[in-house]
Amino acid sequence: MARSYTVRTYGCQMNVHDSERMAGLLESAGYVRAAADTHADVVVFNTCAVRENADNKLYGNLSHLAPVKREHPDMQIAVGGCLAQKDRSEIVRKAPWVDVVFGTHNVHALPVLLERARHNEEAQVEILDSLEVFPSTLPARRESAYAGWVSISVGCNNTCTFCIVPALRGKEKDRRPGDILAEVQALAADGVLEVTLLGQNVNAYGADFGDRGAFADLLRACGSVEGLERVRFTSPHPRDFTSDVIAAMAETPNVCPQLHMPLQSGSDDVLRRMRRSYRSSRFLSIIDEVRASLPDAAITTDIIVGFPGETEEDFQATLDVVSAAKFASAFTFQYSPRPGTPAATLPDQLPKAVVQERYMRLVALQEQISWDANRMLEGTVVEVLVAAGEGKKDSATHRLSGRARDGRLVHFAPGTAEIRPGDVVEVAIGYGAPHHLVADGPVLRHRRTRAGDAHDRPTPTATGLGLPSFGAPAPLAPTTGCGA
């Protein structure tokens, strides 16, 4: 019988993208996805080193699997991703029942390493320091029939003092535009309605091959892809944000009116210590320019509270920028030191109580701003792409959920219609809550799609180079910048 597998993903959208490739590789090698609530023959952890307590979470999960492996000695455990790239052979030292450790640069080697570990009956640790195979060229088992992740670059050339990603993902490496567009076209031909272009710093795309206008050109090219209805991207860096990108967003109908741009701090002094190469005035000027071209754009951000040396005046500057920017939502984080980053050794680390108090004030301000903005949408009609992970019927209200074109979460009442994940509906918003919109009236329009048809079909096997297949959907990872 074929060996079964499961992939457990932590962290950002890039990890979700990479996990889909790991699953595709395993299925191409003859493995089958494990059924829910069963012990898989192969358990793969795709880890994150950015989130707080990421290592504790990994080693806790590995400890839980130790007795399972004793009962099932043929079971294999593999650890990949950013934490594997950072800790390397330390993982096997701490958890000697792990069979394979692989890094961010050699995802393609996973099936070979698993087979080698079985044959040699010893752990295989293989960590490369530079990329060999771009993950997007690998077979994929997509987690959604209607939405796809498309990586346009890997790595980062920035040196933010709070961020370890450049050390783990390496220097920025861009894919060729033709390869990206071919993948987008293949996804659209397969019925995908929405793609998200991924990169640690998407609007620096093209620097690797000397074309500073490449990202704007790529957005415009996505506008000509037949069947593609929505294009999103994450995350841009304010330093590299240019007017040609804003023009491409405004002039390309399928590019969604949504922008996620990490602020991190509203204090120029803190931005300087973070090595963020922009200042608050520049950040706000970008937002003004975006709203001049896209008045209805939903702009979201990342903010770190309590960076070393942050004074009350620095924090007030952050509150002032948040008030001026009027973000649709913000991913807010309390600073905590990350080993291996320059910020971890900076003086004036703030007491936890001070950081917590400031954090709560920021959350309260942003919640009010988000709520006010969502209330302004009451009575408007929005188009919703029905989601699966977010779109299961609520047992109490029988609502389904999905995302509006601007990225807002919408809960709606389906009535008697057979609405599937991947279908598109139009609904009138009756209530704006701080974190979502509600439409309890009748569905005004329901369009069945090929993605909705595909969601109901049995799951195919991943085949071919980069050709997608799909299965049960997974919840979207939070849209955060790499340093959060």
Residue 119 lies in a domain: yes
**Domain boundaries, position 65:** 4-132
Whether 158 and 238 map to the same domain: the answer is yes
Whether 8 and 115 map to the same domain: the answer is yes
Whether 112 and 259 map to the same domain: the answer is no
Whether 177 and 290 map to the same domain: the answer is yes
Whether 181 and 59 map to the same domain: the answer is no
Q: What is the pLDDT of residue 482?
A: 47
Whether 118 and 142 map to the same domain: the answer is no
Whether 247 and 360 map to the same domain: the answer is yes
Whether 311 and 433 map to the same domain: the answer is no
pLDDT in tens, 113-142: 999 999 999 999 999 988 888 888 888 898
Total of domains in the chain: 3
Residue 160 lies in a domain: yes
pLDDT in tens, 424-467: 999 999 999 999 999 999 999 999 999 999 877 644 433 333 33
Residue 476 lies in a domain: no
Q: What is the pLDDT of residue 52?
A: 66
Whether 218 and 310 map to the same domain: the answer is yes
Q: Which amino acid is at 274?
A: M
Tokens linked to 439: 């439409």
* pLDDT interval class at 169 (50, 70, 90): confident
pLDDT in tens, 212-231: 999 999 999 999 999 999 99
Residue 469 lies in a domain: no
What CATH code is carried by the domain that includes residue 397?
Answer: 2.40.50
Whether 76 and 204 map to the same domain: the answer is no
